[in-house]
Structure 1
Amino acid sequence: MMFTGKLWPVHPHPYPNELLSSWLVRIAHANGEKVQTFTHQEFGVNKQVWNRDIDRLAPEWLLERLSEKTATSIEVVRQTTLKHYKGTLFHHSTHSGVEAWITPLRMYHRKRKGFGLQFCPLCLKEDKEPYFRASWRVALQTFCLKHQIMMHDRCPQCGEAVTFHRIDISSKECGINKLLSICSNCRFDLSDSPIKKVSHFDGGIASNWNQCLLGIEFGVIEKFDIERLAVLHQFGKLLTFHSVSDKLIGFVELQINQKLFRPDCNLRYFEANDVSARHQIIGCAWWLLQDWPDNLYSAWLNGAVRYNQLLKDFASIPVWYSETIVQFNVNYKKRRYELSKK
């Protein structure tokens, strides 16, 4: 049924921190339509919606139409996309590749081959109407700030990625299994997923990590915090880079006296690692930042990372970082001499 009025008959507004894709699915179901049917009739068959990561790459016509048909300001509509993290998590939007700190969905012919959509089962359980948050696409958020439990990035029952926009594809009636918390593959309720309390290497890392996520979520973040995020991201890349990963993680392992597993260095971006691997990678990155610059200096001094690697492909390097790293530009003999003095 084509809706011809100025507004859609039912036009829910986005919930706080809601993802565009989550909101759009809720709108379709609220109007008694399956998602694909609704998007085809309202936007036209020539304007594809689900062949892209719309949370990251939403076309302007889609945002304007949503604003018009739901009586929602365009500013609020834009806040449902991941572009509102521009200037904090990343500086330049890109149509290809991956944005810094944004988990990739790895779209292929409308299907998701990646596990980029995370969720907190307790948040879904508490929601009057389950919905997915924009912050759940942030790679740094490996745990829920509110509940202090680990996030999930797939259905624990069947292992499939979260694809709530497909939950009604096999349903004869659009109202069947329309809750966004239902796995589109096996119909398991994601809000019933196992709970695992988050753990950190130490209290200092836990405090810094929580404060950083709070600043991102509420948009209260200083210039130094943004620069620190950029350095943290650089360390994340190094910790998953073939020629650096094993040595650097091995060094951190010895310092914290914990056995650490090795991440998949074949993945093109560290954000593509599963949530448990990312949690460890980012934990190691926080450790390197801790007690600045002593921990990083120690890693360099012991040969776990080289000077040129610390600067490799690092755009917009913070002054405080470059001023420290330039001191590491010494030859091997001098570094061995420094090590012998310790």
Structure 2
Amino acid sequence: MTRIYGLTGRQLPIHPQPLPDELFTHWFTRLSHSNGLKVQTLADRLFGYPSSFWARDQDKLASQQAIDALAEVTGQVPADLLRLTLRPYGDYLYAKHNPFGNTRWILPLGMYHRTRRHGLQFCPLCLRSDVPYFRRCWRLSFYVECDHHHVLMLDACPNCKAPVMFHRAELGHRHRRGYPPTVNCFRCCFNLSWAGAQTYDWADQQAMLAAQAAIFSHFRHSAFLHERTFESAQTFFDVLYLLCNRIGSSRRTGELYDWVQEQIRPHETRQINRRVNKFDDRPIWERARLLEAAFWLLCDWPYRLNCAIRELNIYPCLFTPERGERNTWLLEAMPLFD
């Protein structure tokens, strides 16, 4: 058994239950603070001093040994704790989960020691609930709009522009009794739940409905797009990811974004950064624009993409599945490009 200094029983005195879709590291933070411990202190006592627990993206990395150690001192079932991590998304959103590097559809945190540059989104209206907490789905790059309040997600403190790092809100409070709420900005202590909420101005109603139906049902193992049902959600999300990357790319397919904007936003002047190649590395508003463009193309598949390729003289092979993927849904459109 893991021995924690001052603990006479086999479990911590207080072990809060995980909330629906709660993020693993947020639950760990609540567990630490409810027992009067700092997050680094609990990590040191569980995994050995000095622990590098917070120097890694534990929502992706969390090892089975760490899960078992936490289950032992909290009385939780290891499988239930594992579901708090991002690893289960690998069952239906992407083919391979990479705990040590970038993974498709997962926002990178930009880790540097125990600090983060970006990666965690939040809905300010969700944080105004009775028990505010950070959700797993807020780490998904296609989750740009809250499925409950239908407002655009935020990824930084509106007061000081600092990234969200709830595990560092306790810094500077060594002699304070209790710890600040995790919804407070770690830098300026601004309450993130009071950040302004904005709705996303979808230019095409059909694309909006298709995007919301697909994005809001990401937790299912199947996906829907109008009359088409995909028994494997990965089949759909593979194509969606390919389209989002190709539409925003600066190589040979970059004109496709401008072409789509001319169709749905003829007076659009705001441009995306063409130097960013990966969809997951983009800010929220750019990801929202690319998702809107991709779903607009998918709403009349493959006619609209076929028209764009003919008008822009783009090589159809750029839209074929990546190496190792066999997506017949995307390949069925290829004969129309000849």
TM-score after normalising by structure 2: 0.91
Once residues 191 and 245 of structure 1 are traced to their aligned partners in structure 2, the CA distance between those partners, rounded to angstroms, is: 39
Deviations 1:234-282 (A, max 9, x none): 0111123221453011100111134153322333521111111111111
Alignment of 1:85-104 (within 5 A): 85-104=89-108
Once residues 158 and 185 of structure 1 are traced to their aligned partners in structure 2, the CA distance between those partners, rounded to angstroms, is: 8
Once residues 137 and 331 of structure 2 are traced to their aligned partners in structure 1, the CA distance between those partners, rounded to angstroms, is: 30
Residue type of the partner of 1:180? Answer: T
Deviations 1:287-340 (A, max 9, x none): 121211111111111116321211263542311211212442x4xxxxxxxxxx
Deviations 1:49-83 (A, max 9, x none): 11111001112211111111111111111110001
- Judging changes above 3 Å, is the alpha-carbon distance between structure 1 residues 103 and 7 closer, same or farther for their aligned structure 2 residues? same
Residue type of the partner of 2:121? Answer: Q
The residue that corresponds to 2:241 in the other structure is: 233
CA contact (8 A) 2:244 2:291 kept: yes
The CA RMSD over aligned residues, in Å, is 1.9
Once residues 316 and 325 of structure 1 are traced to their aligned partners in structure 2, the CA distance between those partners, rounded to angstroms, is: 15
Deviations 1:115-174 (A, max 9, x none): 210000000001x22210000011111010100100001111111110001110111246
- Judging changes above 3 Å, is the alpha-carbon distance between structure 1 residues 219 and 317 closer, same or farther for their aligned structure 2 residues? closer
2:254 counterpart SS class: helix
Alignment of 1:65-76 (within 5 A): 65-76=69-80
Alignment of 1:38-77 (within 5 A): 38-77=42-81
Aligned match for 2:261, one of 244, 253, 271: 253
Once residues 135 and 176 of structure 2 are traced to their aligned partners in structure 1, the CA distance between those partners, rounded to angstroms, is: 23
1:121 counterpart SS class: coil
Q: Does 1:191 align with 2:199?
A: no
CA contact (8 A) 1:124 1:130 kept: yes
Alignment of 1:1-342 (within 5 A): 1-113=5-117, 115-126=118-129, 128-173=130-175, 175-217=177-219, 221=223, 222-223=230-231, 225-244=233-252, 246-258=254-266, 259=268, 261-303=270-312, 305-311=314-320, 313=322, 315-328=324-337, 330=338
Once residues 17 and 200 of structure 1 are traced to their aligned partners in structure 2, the CA distance between those partners, rounded to angstroms, is: 27
Matched-pair identity in %: 29
Give unmatched runs, 5+ long, in structure 2.
Answer: 224-229
Aligned pairs, number: 327
TM-score after normalising by structure 1: 0.90
Once residues 334 and 16 of structure 2 are traced to their aligned partners in structure 1, the CA distance between those partners, rounded to angstroms, is: 51
The residue that corresponds to 2:227 in the other structure is: none
Once residues 245 and 319 of structure 1 are traced to their aligned partners in structure 2, the CA distance between those partners, rounded to angstroms, is: 22
Once residues 311 and 164 of structure 2 are traced to their aligned partners in structure 1, the CA distance between those partners, rounded to angstroms, is: 42
Which has a greater percent of helix?
Answer: 1
Residue type of the partner of 1:86? Answer: G
